[in-house]
Amino acid sequence: MEAFSIINIPAYMQKKIAQNAMGVSIDYKRFNIKSMDVFRNLFFQKYMPENDSNSNIKYNGKVAHVRVNSPRWIAQQAIVTFEEVGAVPIVFVEEYAKWQWLKWSIARIDFYGAFFHFYDDLPRQYQELYKYLNSEAIKWDNKVRVTRLDIAVDVDMPFPQKWYKWITPAKHSQREVEMYRHWWLYNSYWYLAEKNSWYWVRIYDKTVQVKKTHKESWYWWADKISENWTRIEFEFYNPYCSMGDEKIIDMVKERIAWWDIEIGSLPRPCYTFNVENAYKYFERYAKNHWLDIWELLRQVQDEHYFREKTKEYYWLVDED
């Protein structure tokens, strides 16, 4: 754990984090692929559509695969659309050209934070894609390797204004802890070491970030924590990221709050039918339009009756 010591949180604050932790979860994961057989198997198993046409978009069930610019050769994003949320990129796939002279990789596949956030509502083939790559990554043949893993710790507490003191760069580091302040309050600290470093760390006000990126609809439960949402995020590279998800999560828990944080992600939205979600939608709609929710529900009910009567009228007219 000595090498994993850029961030040092005092014991009293570790206890506070443990008491207010909302969860520890994976927020990003990258697989690098060495074997062309493994890469082609992704298409053979129909995890992804192979775009053999001139079109920039190809659909795989409910997901669009869109070609994007790549300096290495061919790249595409898998984008899924959710009602009330819109288009959300979940996976990035990039295949490298031979002339790139990359000694190890022929391709890479990145799973964005949205993939893990919306995991339960994604088409099954993308869940299977992730499981397949995980199973290949633990084999000894090294045909697939995990080369980046982001772990996020979410805490229900106001953003701390002095945590920059707890990020301690190495003695010989040429870089310093960076900070961002809006008006008179800090809302982000980060220490990004050299590219060949083992990990980076960021601490930021997640509420501000959600509002800035217009992702309020991703977190229907966010009103429960008001403005108090702090995220501590680690970006791991080798050798850490290849240690396995559970081990690296345990290391994060020990460093942040001495094991007392429950493993698991934040509450995920559910886009299958759920009466609580439906109610929350009406509640949010009423609030955004300065309406009383009872008045809104009454108007929706009246509109429903009107439409049903209209359909019934036209059905009778057609019958005559």
DSSP string, 129-171: HHHHHHHHHTSTT-SEEEEEEEEEEEESSPPPTTGGGGB---T
Q: Clarify whether residues 305 and 239 are in a common domain.
A: no
Q: What pLDDT sits at residue 79?
A: 92
Diameter of the chain measured on Cα atoms:
89
9-14 — which CB contacts under 8 Å span 24+ positions? 9/163, 9/166, 9/255, 9/256, 9/257, 10/166, 11/258, 13/160, 13/166, 14/256, 14/257, 14/258, 14/260
- Would 264 be classed as within a structural domain? no
Q: What pLDDT sits at residue 264?
A: 55
| Reported confidence tier of residue 148, pLDDT bands at 50, 70, 90 | very high
Q: What pLDDT sits at residue 219?
A: 76
Q: Clarify whether residues 80 and 137 are in a common domain.
A: yes
In degrees, rounded to 5, the angle at the alpha carbon of residue 219 between the alpha carbons of residues 221 and 127 is 120
In this predicted structure, the answer to whether residue 320 has a pLDDT above a threshold of 70 is no
Q: Report DSSP state, residue 75.
A: E
Give the type of residue at 66: V
79's tokens: 């984008």
Residues 301, 109: Cα–Cα separation, whole Å: 47
Write down the mean pLDDT value for the chain.
78
Q: Clarify whether residues 36 and 78 are in a common domain.
A: yes
- Would 35 be classed as within a structural domain? yes
Q: Clarify whether residues 286 and 149 are in a common domain.
A: no
In this predicted structure, the answer to whether residue 164 has a pLDDT above a threshold of 50 is yes
> How far from each other are the two terminal CA atoms of the chain, in whole angstroms?
82
Domain region containing 302: 275-319
Q: What pLDDT sits at residue 52?
A: 59
Residues 93, 164: Cα–Cα separation, whole Å: 35
- Which helix (H) or strand (E) covers residue 91, if one does? strand 86-96
Q: What is the mean pLDDT of residues 216-244?
A: 78
Q: Clarify whether residues 253 and 106 are in a common domain.
A: yes
pLDDT tens-digit series, residues 17-72: 888 888 888 999 999 998 888 888 887 677 777 655 566 788 777 888 888 888 87
Q: What pLDDT sits at residue 92?
A: 94
- Would 301 be classed as within a structural domain? yes
Find how far residue 254's CA is from the centre of its chain: 23
- pTM to 2 decimal places: 0.76
Distances (CA, A) of 119 to 105, 126, 268: 27, 9, 8
Mark which of 231, 257, 283 sits at the end of a domain: 257
Q: What pLDDT sits at residue 226?
A: 59
How many domains does the chain divide into?
A: 2
Lowest pLDDT segment from 13-22, 133-142, 174-183? 174-183
Q: What is the mean pLDDT of residues 189-195?
A: 66
92's tokens: 């990035």
Distances (CA, A) of 227 to 24, 128, 153, 261, 290: 19, 36, 17, 21, 21
Q: What pLDDT sits at residue 206?
A: 87
Residues 214, 221: Cα–Cα separation, whole Å: 15
- Would 269 be classed as within a structural domain? no
Q: What pLDDT sits at residue 1?
A: 44
Q: Clarify whether residues 178 and 294 are in a common domain.
A: no
In this predicted structure, the answer to whether residue 115 has a pLDDT above a threshold of 80 is yes
Q: What pLDDT sits at residue 182?
A: 67
| Residue-wise DSSP of 183-234 | TTEEEEEEE---TTSSEEEEEEEHHHHHHHTT-GGG-TTGGGGTT--EEEEE
Q: Clarify whether residues 180 and 251 are in a common domain.
A: yes
Q: Clarify whether residues 125 and 166 are in a common domain.
A: yes
Residues 150, 202: Cα–Cα separation, whole Å: 11
Q: Clarify whether residues 203 and 282 are in a common domain.
A: no
Residues 6, 159: Cα–Cα separation, whole Å: 19
Q: What is the mean pLDDT of residues 213-241?
A: 78
- Would 291 be classed as within a structural domain? yes
pLDDT tens-digit series, residues 247-272: 888 888 888 887 667 655 555 554 44
41's tokens: 């198997």
Residues 255, 57: Cα–Cα separation, whole Å: 44
Q: Which candidate, 202, 162, 195, places its Cα nearest to that of 7? A: 202
